Amino acid sequence: MTTTLTDRYIAATVRHVSGRHRREIDRELRAAIADDIDARTALGEPPAQAEYAALNELGDPAHLATRYADRATVLIGPETYRSYVRALGVLCATVLPIVYVVQDIGYWVRGENAGAIIFGPLGTTLTVAMYLIACVTGLFVLVDRMGNEHRREGDAAGEWAPDQLPFAEAGQPTAWSDVITGIVLGALLVVALFVQRVSPVTTAAGAQVPIIDPALWGFWVFYFIAVVVLAIGLAVVNLRLGRWTTATAVIGTVLALAATGPLAWLFWQARVLNHALDARALVTPGSWISWLAIVVLALITAGVLLKTWRHRDRQTTTPSHPGKEEQ
C-alpha cells in the first residue's frame, strides 16, 4: 500500500485529536485539500506541485489539529500528549508493581496474615502513584512549553514544509516519552537502591533488613547504574538524530544484553536478594523465584530488542519536494 502526501498530512493531523473526531476531521480535511488541488490544477499547475502547495498553505499539521480541539487551552498540548500518555503508562506499569512487591516482601518476612500481605501495600503504592503522576506531568509540561517556543520560532522563520511529514506507517523512532521514561526510571532506581539500605523491610523483631544483598555494592550496583546512564544517553542521541541508525541499534542491543544477562545470572545464583530475609524461595539458587525473574527478564529483553530493530528496519527516506526534481 502506498501513501500520498495528502494521506501523510491527514494522518499527522488526526493523530493529535481525540479518536471520536478523527473520522469526521479526516473527511472534512481530505475534501478541503482535494478542492484546493482541483482549483490549482485548473489554473495549470501540475498535480504533484498543486498538492504540495495546498498542504504547504495549510501549515504544520500539529498546529492545524489545535483548531479542531474541544478546548482552547490545555496543560499538555497535542504535540506531546501521546508521548505523555505512553510514558505515564510505562512508568506506572513498571514502578507500581515493584513498589507493591517490595512492600509485600516486608509483610511476608514479618509473618503477617494473608489479608495484610494482599492489602497492606496498597496505601504506599497509591501514594507513589500520585507522586509519579505529578512528577511526569510536570516534566512534560516543561517539555511542551519548550517545544512550543521552538515551534513558534520555526513558524516565524517559515521552516515547516510538507517534506517534513512522516510516513504514516513508519512510527516515531524515539520520542520525548522514551527519554523522560528513562530518566525517571533511572532516577527512581538509584534512589531505591540507596533507600533500601535504610530498609523499608523489617523482621518480626523490628530489625531492618536491606532487600538487596549488600555484597552487590562491591561492583554490580554501580555496574547497573552505569548501564542505565548509558541507555539514557543513547535515547538522547536518538532523539537528536530523529531516527535509529544501525550503530545506535547495535549499541542498544549491547546495553540491553549487558543489563539483563548479568542480572539473570545473579538471580539464578540467588545473589540479588539479601539472605537475611530468611525466606527459602528468595535465597535458594534455582528456586521458582529465580526462574520467574529470568522469564520476566527474557520477555523484557525480547521486547526491547524487537522495538529497537523494528524502528531501525522501518526507517524510510522522505521523498523530496516534487518541484525540486524538475528544477
Are 61 and 12 within 8 A, CB to CB? Answer: yes
In angstroms, rounded to a whole number, what is the distance separating the alpha carbons of residues 78 and 130?
A: 23
pLDDT given at position 165? 63
Average pLDDT on 99-120 reads 75
pLDDT given at position 71? 43
Bigger pLDDT: 324 or 91? 91
Q: In this model, does residue 16 exceed pLDDT 90?
A: no
Bigger pLDDT: 218 or 312? 218
Cβ neighbour number for residue 95 with a 10 Å cutoff: 20
pLDDT tens, position by position, 254-267: 998 999 999 999 98
Q: What is the mean pLDDT of the chain?
A: 75
pTM: 0.54
pLDDT given at position 3? 64
Listed in sequence order, the residues at least 6 apart from 245 whose beta carbon sits closer than 8 Å to its beta carbon are 312
pLDDT given at position 147? 60
Asked which of 152-166, 244-258, 260-274, 310-324 is least confident by mean pLDDT, the reply is: 310-324
Nearest Cα residue to 77 out of 2, 149, 3: 149
Partners of 273 in beta bridges: 212
Asked which of 36-45, 128-137, 315-324 is least confident by mean pLDDT, the reply is: 315-324
Question: Which residue is listed with cell 481530505?
Answer: 30
Nearest Cα residue to 221 out of 194, 200, 199: 194
pLDDT given at position 55? 86
In angstroms, rounded to a whole number, what is the distance separating the alpha carbons of residues 86 and 292?
A: 26
In angstroms, rounded to a whole number, what is the distance separating the alpha carbons of residues 142 and 64?
A: 22
Strand runs labelled E in 93-170: none
Q: For residue 204, what pLDDT band results from cuts at 50, 70 and 90?
A: low
Q: Say which DSSP state 217 is in.
A: G
Asked which of 23-37, 109-123, 247-261 is least confident by mean pLDDT, the reply is: 109-123
In angstroms, rounded to a whole number, what is the distance separating the alpha carbons of residues 222 and 219?
A: 6
Nearest Cα residue to 271 out of 286, 250, 256: 286
pLDDT given at position 172? 47
Listed in sequence order, the residues at least 6 apart from 143 whose beta carbon sits closer than 8 Å to its beta carbon are 80, 176, 180
Domain residue extents for the chain: 5-73, 77-160+172-208, 212-316
Q: In this model, does residue 60 exceed pLDDT 80?
A: no
**Helix, strand, coil % in the chain, rounded to nearest 5:** 75, 0, 25
Of 123-132, 174-183, 278-287, which has the strongest mean pLDDT?
A: 123-132
Q: In this model, does residue 223 exceed pLDDT 90?
A: yes
3-state secondary structure of 212: strand
- Give the phi and the psi of residue 286 in degrees, each rounded to 5: 75, 15
pLDDT tens, position by position, 280-295: 656 677 777 788 888 8
